[in-house]
Structure 1
Amino acid sequence: MAVYPLQRLTLDQQQEIVQIATKIGQRVTCVGMMNIQFVVADQVYVIEVNPRASRTVPFMSKVTHRHLAQLATQLILGKTLQDLDLPAGLDVVPDVIAVKAPVFSFAKLPGAPTVLSQR
């Protein structure tokens, strides 16, 4: 699931996530899009990093009113965040809350069992 804007993270946790994401992007020299999944429990953990776009990109483009794939392409072609008038870090918090939930393929099969495994 994806929820935007962040609902329960402290400002310190948000800043730590930005710092971690920035360091990872710089270390792997990722230009464009990078998908990072975090878990916040007793501290911030990175559970997955993929140097690619994810299914969340269209959702976040709609919520932020920014064509993220197009912006990433401009960065790949040599533009900078400053050239594109993009701030580093987190964007301005919108006045709405948006939620993206997965739809599993078995929802399209009426009558099919919906358990993921059987014991």
Structure 2
Amino acid sequence: MIIRYSKDHEYVRLDGDVAVVGISSYAQEQLGDVVFVELPEVGKTVAQGKEAAVVESVKAASEVYAPVSGEVVEVNSELEAAPATVNEDPEGKGWFLKLKLSNPAEFDALLSEADYKAFLETL
């Protein structure tokens, strides 16, 4: 399974042609305690760099941008009842949505894990 990151702190974990999208551990640390997650409708098409979901914490509300374009094929509805899952396991059980990729080249252009860690050191 390959994982890539955006400079907006979203991750994409590729499983075949389905991309699992969520926020990075760094992003959830910056947000603090997550209290609400708004997910898109299944079937919605999202474009790279555009809003795909909303996450609210005790500190702020923040958009989750789509790191890749595609059609939403599944959302993590468990987050609606248990938004703190994003804090507990952001890059595992705290995923937000799954997309069927419309342009695989967008995934390839994202940051590798090593590049993302190097990017975080510049912040």
Which of the five TM-score ranges fits, normalised by the shorter chain?
under 0.3
Q: Which has the larger radius of gyration?
A: 1
Query: Which structure dedicates a bigger proportion of its chain to helix?
Result: 1
Query: Which structure dedicates a bigger proportion of its chain to strand?
Result: 2
What TM-score, normalized by structure 2, do the two folds share? Answer: 0.26
